[in-house]
Amino acid sequence: MIHLERYLMVAQDGEHEIVVDKSRFICHVKRVYNDQDAMEFIKEIKKIHWNATHNCSAYQVGDFNEIQKANDDGEPSGTAGVPMLEVLRKQGIKNCVVVVTRYFGGIKLGAGGLIRTYGKAVSEAIKELGVIERKTMKTMFVNADYNLLGTIQSRLEGTDYLISQVHYTDKVSVEVLIDVDSEETFTSWIIDMTNGKVDVVPGETSFKEVPYHREA
């Protein structure tokens, strides 16, 4: 079975509300990894907001978005669930379910207004909750004397190398996450930067969650 080496997810579960023409749109966001969990979440939100005008939903699950579903929950066909799903698609957010709860405020938005608003509710919620990248990374252990810790930390700051943990024993061991194809480059760089005063030991390769910032 083929698996992706990297993909994007929401950083955390949560909710975010916007108000458009007196109607409240509350977007609930959750990470899910299968169809059943997505449906259970939708059912849970509908139970909590049983008196809402609509609880529209969308989700996509799987490395290659094998499962994609959208539901308008009574809004005009194609004006809610599909625009919500389209946000997940365009932003590349995987394994995620979104439910937008609407409490009608008395002013009709029209089909175009609904499409824009349901999409906006999801995109703003994702922006508020944040996005992380899950990708295959290599762990490297940089072992050194304690007096080099500050130098190592300051030089790593602002690079693509991420400090995962720092272990304190008779020496200090800095656990660094790097791209899988950067082992040789990183090792040469850190040894050169410290004038050969560190010992670099490769660790395991595994999936990690790292901060993600979209290019402007």
pLDDT in tens, 75-96: 999 999 999 999 999 999 999 9
pLDDT of residue 3: 59
> Which residues does 112 contact at the CB level (< 8 Å), separation at least 6?
none
In DSSP notation, 139-175 reads EEEEEE-GGGHHHHHHHHTTSS-EEEEEEESSSEEEE
Q: Does 76 share its domain with 168?
A: no
Whole-angstrom Cα distance, residue 30 to residue 38? Answer: 8
188: left (phi over 0), alpha (psi -120 to 50) or beta: alpha
Nearest-CA neighbor of 41 among 33, 204, 127? 33
The stretches in the chain having pLDDT less than 50 are 1, 216
Task: Supply the CATH number for residue 204's domain.
Answer: 3.30.70.240
We report the CATH number of the domain holding residue 124 as 3.30.230.30
Reduce the secondary structure of 99-143 to three states and give it as a string: EEEEECCCCCCHHHHHHHHHHHHHHHHHHHHCEEEEEEEEEEEEE
Q: What percent of the residues of the chain are helix, what percent strand, and what percent coil, each to the nearest 5?
A: 30, 40, 30
What is the model's pLDDT at position 42? 98
Cα 170 to Cα 7: distance, rounded to the nearest angstrom: 38
Specify whether 91 is located in the same domain as 15.
yes
Contact 144, 138 (CB under 8 A): no
- Domain range for 93: 6-129
Give the pTM. 0.82
Single out the residue in 129, 152, 168 at which a domain terminates: 129
- The last residue of a domain, from among 73, 95, 129: 129
Check residue 1 and give its pLDDT. Answer: 47
Claim to verify: residue 122 and residue 152 sit in the same structural domain? no
- Name the residue with tokens 């969308």: 58
Structure tokens of 124?
């703003």
Structural domain includes residue 186: yes
* Counted domains in the chain: 2
Record the tokens describing residue 49, joined without a space: 């907001």
Please measure the distance between the N-terminal and C-terminal CA atoms of the chain and give it in whole angstroms.
34
pLDDT of residue 211: 82
